[in-house]
Chain A
Amino acid sequence: MAAGRAGRWFLLPGLVFLFAIDLIPLAYSGWISFYNWWLIRPRDIRFVGLANYTRFADDPEFTRAVVVTTLFTAGAVLVEFLAGLGLALLFAQPFKFLRPIRVLLLLPLFVVPVVGATMWRVIFHPELGVLNYYLGVIGLGPLPWLSDPRLALVSITLVDAWRTIPFMFLVIYAGLEVLPAELFEAAAVDGATAWQSFRHITVPLLTYIMLLAVLIRGMDAFREFDIIFVLTGGGPGTATQTIQILNYRAFGLGHMGEANAIGIVTLIIVAAMCFVLMRAVLRPQVARG
């Protein structure tokens, strides 16, 4: 469809708002990243160019944080996407008993993240937690959920999945619900199996929604902070120390230039990931409509 003049009016309010309230502040924080602004010394602000960025290049702690963050993001998004997709498909079936259960599945989204993570700490407690208690009873022994470096990474992914699978489920499920029933009926009449229907009808039509879900989740997982901070604080050692925890540290100490530099680096990494993903998946799909 050609660009109608009416289109402008639809787009302007949202875009102007975002430009003023999001992009300009973002540009400002990018600007801050070129200075050495330490809040406790407001009169000692100097332009330092790329100094805040180059210090990461030789900081092994930063590199390690990038690795940890990427591992966590990849693991979390994979698990959450597959589980969300599976659940959405299960719930798309026309069984009456499914309707009341839907809201139950969404409950983790309604728990304030800090409380959810705190409660999981209680559950994960090595000696006093309920999880290890029952694991002990069935002989799988108490596990060091939060004190073993590798298991800690699994634990935070678990809690993040607990919290976010409902979201993935919700988004994909809504997408499924909008698919016209006629298509599936026609396919059934033609003798297609459930798998064939899935592959040739559901997947192509749902690609945009699934991609969006993965992108959004990827971006959020990369920036995830609350859950990790409450559960492990970045520990044990630096096993779960993500880029966001480093960011929080710099920010908490008042090093604004540094903190913003970390933020901009995160932005660049995530933007690159998204760009690549979108090109790969959306290119084959010419803009519809």
Chain B
Amino acid sequence: MKPTRLRAALTGAALAPVLVWTLFPIYWITTASFKTELALYAKPPQWLFTPILDNYTRVLTNIPFFQYLKNSLVIAIGTTLGSLVLGTLAGYGFARFHFRASEAVRFLVLVTRMAPRMVLVVPYYLMMQRLGLLDTYTGLLVAYVSFALPFSIWLLIGFFVDVPLDVEEAAMIDGCSRLGVLIRIVIPIAAPGLVVAAIFAFLVSWNEFLFALILSGVEAKTLPVVIAGLNTDAGPLYGEMSAAAVMVMLPNIVMTLALQRYLVKGLTLGAVKG
């Protein structure tokens, strides 16, 4: 379909309210981080104001923020890698190799996501305690990969199945191994799927609270627990929470910007037929 200026204008018009709705709370949180509480609740609402940095300084000095940032980052990257590796392998396995119990096993993979996470608290606590993994990176990593893996597998199955078989077969005839085909051919074609799986796994880990609370406390404490701590018994500290939230958003934005060029069409390596 030829893109016309009219369509561009209509698209823009449709997007504008969506963007406003999506971005307004983000804007509100960001400005809240630079305001006093009094200013936050001012009537009429203040759109222009003199920003203060107190919230940021308080968050950064009262708590070892960068320590927790490092914890969160390490665990999130580990989760992403773990789920990508295991998920890609398993996804390809399901996509290309069918056996009688294929469907049932696939469903079983998803079943773990059907129970509320809370039911896993006691088993995980006991498991990590026995293995000596309480309050360690490894413990949380293992837990988070298990949370992210089912969806990653299912998602990647969908993307791998869409890769044309002929391309794979051609490569194998040329002497490529299955694994080689997966890495050199299938993954680049299905790149958008991997990007989504990566972002998803990263977010599962980055935003997760309950298990970070239960399975860690000092050494492996992550940012969501810290932020929840700003919801004090004397009420939420809006300014500090917003400042912390803004800082916590930034690595996600960086990651997405880095990954987003793989989210586009056109990574096919030239069609099968010329």
Contact = CB atoms under 8 A, between A and B. Distances in A.
Interface string B220-240: 000110011001000010100
Contact of A22 (B94, B116, B146): B146
Interface of A: 1-4, 6-11, 13-15, 17-18, 21-26, 28-29, 32, 83, 87, 90, 93-95, 97-98, 101-116, 118-120, 122-123, 125, 128, 130, 133, 162, 165-167, 170-171, 173-175, 177-182, 184, 188, 194, 197, 205, 208-209, 212, 215-216, 219, 223, 225-226, 243-244, 247-248, 251, 256, 259-260, 262-264, 266-267, 270-271, 274-275, 278, 287-289
B178 A109 contact: no
Contacts of A247: 116, 118
Given A26-B112, A104-B19, A177-B264, A13 B89 contact: yes
Interface string B14-40: 110011011101101100100000001
Contacts of B158: 175, 208-209, 212
B203 A287 contact: no
B77 interface: no
B155 A171 contact: yes
A1 B97 contact: yes
Contact of B29 (A119, A162, A275, A288): A119
Nearest to B146: A21
A26 B118 contact: no
**Residue in A29, A32, A266 whose Cβ sees the most chain B Cβ within 10 Å:** A29
A14 B153 contact: yes
Interface residues of B, number: 109
Contacts of A32: 122
B26 to A, nearest CB: 5
A104 B199 contact: no
A197 B1 CA distance: 10
B116 A17 contact: no
Interface stretch (B41-49, B54-62, B63-71): B41-49
Given A177-B265, A259-B119, A14 B112 contact: no
Interface SS majority for chain B: helix
A95 B3 contact: yes
B162 A6 contact: no
Contacts of A13: 85-86, 89-90
Nearest to A128: B41
Contacts of A181: 265
Nearest to B95: A289
Most buried by A among B110, B114, B223: B114
Given A87-B18, A102-B260, A111-B245, A271 B238 contact: no
Given A133-B45, A162-B25, 17 more contacts: A3-B97, A6-B178, A7-B96, A9-B93, A13-B89, A26-B115, A29-B120, A83-B18, A90-B11, A97-B12, A114-B224, A119-B29, A123-B28, A182-B271, A244-B116, A287-B98, A287-B103
Contact of A104 (B3, B22, B178): B22
Interface string B258-269: 001001110010
A174 B242 contact: no
Main secondary structure of the interface of A (DSSP, over half): helix
A173 B207 CA distance: 23
16 contacts: A10-B92, A14-B86, A17-B149, A22-B150, A87-B18, A102-B263, A106-B256, A115-B242, A115-B245, A133-B44, A180-B268, A216-B113, A219-B114, A256-B122, A271-B114, A289-B96
B149 A14 contact: yes
A132 B113 CA distance: 38
A246 to B, nearest CB: 10
Contacts of B93: 7-11, 14
Nearest to B165: A289
Interface centre among A25, A83, A102 (most CB of B within 10 A): A25
A213 B91 CA distance: 16
B173 interface: no
A98 B209 CA distance: 33
